[in-house]
Structure 1
């Protein structure tokens, strides 16, 4: 049977997302919290220099550096690009990884609650989603472009043989919140428990269907032809992550008071609404469709 023998829990891929860093510190102080009998756990602080600078990153987003082609390109050598190669050697190499399960911890300024993000499909992920949702009903399950092969993904978690992100918010950048840290710990503990039960073939009966959301595309804030912002996320959408937007619903308010309406023809579910880290790209939100994960 497929076994999880080596787990890595990674915090601080983004230097100003504090919960993952401090959860790693808690686990380092009390290793039993992150360990289970059937596997070893490595605790990794991914981007310390960005944290010391109190920035998301120094030169480029570390969580966008893990495509196979980029890892193999020696000309990509700024701090985060070099750091990605070090982490890939430590935990991977991607495609033949020594790490069986990589859990990557993140915060968002958006009101997403506790979100388990899956970047791959398959029986292991389907069972994990069903287990986490069963044990933690408030959890959101996100299938983020899981139709792409791992080598096409640039995310840190795809270095592992299996990999997931734990994304929790809302939390401002460079701030700690107890409720957010506790949600992150809770979800991480459920993932570790799942791996232990998976290894011993002793998972409980799982729900046959689990609600999830699949990423469709992102939309930008309204801008003029000079790239200047003309408006903001509509107050009816703000903080309503994973709540439905129907055709014709207002999604933006321009500074002159004009409302802009969603012009799609199907209901969608927004997330990463007004995420502060995405303002450099003027991204307003990501849109998702609701899907169901079905167990055989």
Structure 2
């Protein structure tokens, strides 16, 4: 893998996720906080218009617009679709990007704590997960490597390497110090790791570590007309990354009934009851626990 030299730190991909936005403002005033030997670091406020209107997005989710076919489709011209093309031109283009590495900063309303989402499971990403976990034992590492980088639609997929920093719980349009502090610390650790990786000086990592791999997303219960008829069960609410086994209650119906988990694997829910996902009626993501090697 070639050395990483051009790094983009992105905040405000969703206009009402405030931690990354306020950190960008801080770093733009004090760029020395991000400066690292051998790295040229560029900051980007991705969706200023949505932030001005205190919304997640204006027309559609910006963080779902970066699949190559959409970026190349000139008929997709709403605000976020156009903004994605502009960001792709600035940081990319995807597949031959000017940026070597993108760190995209996000908040979630779910009780996920400091979570690092990795889009690939190559040596760089496996070691990055181990390094962050060593520096932040409270962190959680999630691999969303179920599709190729080309097929990913996240902003972070524009570069050959990209990660998503996802910290919660934080309500939309709110700043919490603990959440912001976690985000800043994780970003600093990621940048420190990149410097060490470039120098081939990554040492003292364990041979393996516990992480999670995304498997699927579950929707809230619906009737035949698509009307919501239930909610996340109280035993699952706020229990991100706590195991679910077959037969555990997962949804409570508004008529008092329950729906139990029927999967054939031990599942670790996260993004539980994320407020932003209600427009798609999504209840949570499910992952499997995995052991990741660092060699």
Q: State the 1:149 CA deviation.
A: 1.5
Question: Would you say the 8 A contact 1:218–1:285 is kept in 2?
Answer: yes
SS in 2 for 1:277: helix
Q: Is the 8 A contact 2:7 2:100 kept in 1?
A: yes
For residue 111 of structure 1, what is the aligned residue in structure 2?
111
Distance 1:80 1:244 in 2: 36
SS of aligned partner of 2:9: strand
Contact (CA 8 Å) 1:121, 1:147: kept in 2 or not? no
Is 1:275 aligned with 2:267? no
Alpha-carbon distance in 2 for matches of 1:15, 1:238: 25
In 2, are the aligned partners of 1:7 and 1:40 still within 8 Å (CA)?
A: yes
Q: In structure 1, how many angstroms separate the alpha carbons of the residues matched to 2:281 and 2:249? A: 18
What does 1:145-156 correspond to in 2, within 5 Å? 146-156=145-155
Q: SS state of the match for residue 178, structure 2?
A: helix
Task: Quote the Cα distance in structure 2 between the aligned partners of 1:120 and 1:201.
Answer: 20
CA deviation map 1:23-47 (0-9, x unaligned): 1111111101111011110010000
Moved more, 225-234 or 183-192: 225-234
Please state how far the C-alpha of 1:203 moved relative to its aligned partner.
1.6
Q: Secondary structure at the match of 1:8?
A: strand
The 2-side partners of 1:183 and 1:160 are apart by 24
- State the shift of 1:204 in Å: 2.2
Unaligned 5+ residue runs, structure 2? none
- For residue 84 of structure 2, give the secondary structure of its aligned residue in structure 1: helix
Partner of residue 223, structure 1:
222
1:28 aligns with 2:28: yes
Question: Which runs of structure 2 are paired with 1:204-283 in the superposition (5 Å)?
Answer: 204-283=203-282
Q: Give how far 1:265 is off.
A: 2.3
Distance 1:19 1:52 in 2: 15
TM-score normalised to structure 2 length: 0.98
In the other structure, the counterpart of 1:82 is 82
Tell me the distance in 2 between the aligned counterparts of 1:47 and 1:37: 29
1:229-265 C-alpha deviation (Å, 9 max, x unpaired): 1111111000000000111001111112212111112
1:87-98 matched pairs, under 5 angstroms: 87-98=87-98
Q: What SS does the aligned partner of 1:151 have? A: coil
- RMSD between superposed Cα atoms in Å: 1.0
- Contact 1:15/1:50 (8 A) holds in 2: yes
Q: How many residues align?
A: 295
C-alpha displacement of 1:147: 3.7
Runs of 4 or more, structure 1, over 6 Å off, are none
Task: Give me the whole-angstrom Cα distance separating, in 1, the residues matched to 2:218 and 2:147.
Answer: 21
Q: Which whole-Å CA distance do the structure 1 matches of 2:93 and 2:263 have between them?
A: 41
* Range that drifts further, 200-209 or 53-62: 200-209
Residue in structure 2 matched with residue 48 of structure 1 by the alignment: 48
CA distance in 2, matches of 1:56, 1:160: 23
Give the gaps of 5 or more residues in structure 1.
none
Question: In 1, distance between residues paired with 2:146 and 2:234?
Answer: 33
Distance in 2, matches of 1:204 and 1:30, equals 30
Q: What is residue 14 of structure 2 aligned with on the other side?
A: 14
What is the distance in 1 between the residues matched to 2:120 and 2:264?
Answer: 27
Distance 2:16 2:26 in 1: 18
Quote the residue 2:185 is aligned against: 186
